[in-house]
Structure 1
Amino acid sequence: MQTMLMITSISGAENCASVLAKQLGITVETASNRREALSLLRRREYTIVVLDDGLAESEPAAAELIWKHSGLAIPMQFNFAISGTARLAREVRSALQRREQEQALAMRAATQTVENELRDTVTGLILHSQLALAEATTAPRLSERLRTVAELAGVLRQKLGDHSPSAIQ
């Protein structure tokens, strides 16, 4: 479940949190000062941390400490004095969507990297098996095992999506 920490000393913060929770379908907790915020940040991880612009500008060192303890949460600074709950909801929704897109892209990139590394390893297995089979001094039992290794590597190559002709003979 996604969670949000809203750090502001404005009156009606709990009402704002309740509205956001309903609109966004996330858990929203509030903290009215730096000490309370840091205490909450020590207890759990948040998906997003929203810090009131007024608090951030009046206490820059405190804001920096909050960001430092936010972990992997999306950091967001918001001016509660001039913007309402509807705008905050749009900003949070947008930030969450960007995070999802970034995570999906990162996952695809990581998957592609692992697949490429596996393909290289499989190609190496096939090549070295075939080179060993080509040697005249290879014992018959060893030759059979090398053929099995090469065949298994070929099967693995196909499962990885490499549709080039197999080098196994």
Structure 2
Amino acid sequence: MTPRAAPTSAPPSKSRHHEMPREYNEDEDPAARRRKKKSYYAKLRQQEIERERELAEKYRDRAKERRDGVNKDYEETELISTTANYRAVGPTAEADKSAAEKRRQLIQESKFLGGDMEHTHLVKGLDFALLQKVRAEIASKEKEEEELMEKPQKETKKDEDPENKIEFKTRLGE
């Protein structure tokens, strides 16, 4: 490209020397705007620092206090944990057997005391112990009903003993 010369017919550029001085406006002055922003953000920062200081006064590093043993809040839990340490030793064989027996007994009680339909609050899902108990009750009721129905039939059959039955061998007795 070749350099171009300024057009000769172009109007002359504005000269600042001939303009009238304008009034000072703080909003248009970039330095004034910068100072305003700076003071505004400085106030915000001061408020934030003050809030942090208030929170720091209220804050307690409880984990550090617990590690150092200074915190009074955890004395009770430490007493409980020290007594629990004595129980941490393995139980004797007798205690182990009795614990196993207790567990078996609890399981048997829970199976036996599966509940009943009158006192059970039914929720979604199944209580298998209750289900088995109800099924067993239904089966036993059915057996009892069948036995009651069969008893009269057995009694009528007993009345018809072959010894007591009269047999006729004549043509008229048939």
State the TM-score, normalized to the length of structure 2. 0.25
* Structure of larger gyration radius: 2
- Kindly indicate which of the two structures has a greater share of residues assigned to strand: 1
- Kindly indicate which of the two structures has a greater share of residues assigned to helix: 1
State the TM-score, normalized to the length of structure 1. 0.26
